[in-house]
Amino acid sequence: MAKDKILFYRNPQFSRCPSCKSIGTLHRSRSRNMFEQIVRKTSFIKVYRCKECGWRGFRSTLIFTKKSIRTLLIYILLMGITAYLAQYVILHYVMK
């Protein structure tokens, strides 16, 4: 379970263009304004441009997998059970 990758790095340059559906036509685009610069610097979302059809927009370079979401939920559940057990032990054995 610990070996499961929660996040996968993906390079949008090798993914499909959302507009014309051609592969390998996306290129990193320069930020045109402050908003795009802030988004680019503070997140894993980058501005891309398709050289085939001229589409321009944000693409994420990180993706969550279905398996990783399940792994995350198991971790949260385990953490909840651990917290509950710790509280139970403290209330019944330590506080007496």
List residues near Zn ion by CB under 5 A: 17, 19-20, 50, 52-53, 55
CB of 51 to Zn ion, least distance (A): 8
Q: With respect to Zn ion, which residue has the nearer C-beta, 29 or 68?
A: 29
CB of 43 to Zn ion, least distance (A): 23
What is the total residue count of the chain? 96
Q: With respect to Zn ion, which residue has the nearer C-beta, 21 or 70?
A: 21
Between CA 23 and CA 79 the distance in angstroms is 42
Q: What is the dihedral of CA 35, 41, 44, 45, to 10 degrees?
A: 20
Q: With respect to Zn ion, which residue has the nearer C-beta, 20 or 69?
A: 20
CB of 47 to Zn ion, least distance (A): 14
CA distances, 63 to each of 29, 37, 41, 75 (Å): 20, 21, 18, 19
